[in-house]
Amino acid sequence: MTIHKEGRTLLFFLLIFFSLINVIASNYLPGYETVRLLILIGSVVLFLLVLQFFRNPIFKIAKNDKQVLAPADGKVVVIEETEETEYLKGRRKQISIFMSPINVHVNRMPVEGAISYYKYHPGKYLVAWHPKSSTENERTTVVAKMKNGTEVLFRQIAGAVARRIKCYVTEGQQLEQGQEFGFIKFGSRVDVFLPIDTKINVKVGDITKGGRTVLAELH
């Protein structure tokens, strides 16, 4: 387990801030032991809560070019056939994973492939499970083209709380299955669009682990 780079600066300044608060409480609240203890406990709890947002587990990826891995930790909230209108321009099976604030926020490649499309879209901050969040919220769309020519589209979507999406890819870049491609601070949602004949291995309500849970099998 490591701390993700997106959280290191914030955690450093939080540590300084909470340390100063406790030094001030120690110097200016003599005789108020209970208050000082509550400030100390509150500082530790808040720091640990933020710390867990940026945890980055290390594990071995079981790569398989016939499988689609979950791009994020979270909960499956949508499985449906839909029209993908931005890039693929056709019917696809959509799987949506909601990331809560307690999930790991690292986003990982569901398949191996070259990035054939990438676009950032500014937008709204509707709650992540809102039906229109996929098309109206701030989001990034990424498409990976596999060796067999199959293209898999996945989309990071901001929510009411998560307002910072990080995506590290560029068009033409070759990435491995399970490799980190982005990060969403404090949770939100990731959609994956798959060929219509894909076999889905999960159901709504299932809990996923990014880079480990097999969402689907490609034909």
- CA-CA distance, 214 to 211, in Å (whole number)? 8
Give the 3-state secondary structure of residue 132.
coil
**Residue 100 DSSP one-character state:** P
**Residue 160 DSSP one-character state:** S
The CA distances from residue 22 to 9, 35, 186, in Å, are 20, 11, 26
- CA-CA distance, 53 to 107, in Å (whole number)? 13
Please state, as a whole number, how many other Cβ atoms lie within 10 Å of the Cβ of residue 2.
10
The CA distances from residue 32 to 20, 37, 111, in Å, are 17, 9, 57
Give the 3-state secondary structure of residue 177.
coil
List 43, 96, 133, 188, catalytic entry: 188
Which residues face 107 on adjacent strands?
182
188 as an active site residue: the answer is yes
- CA-CA distance, 199 to 67, in Å (whole number)? 9
**Residue 85 DSSP one-character state:** T
* Residue numbers annotated as active site: 188
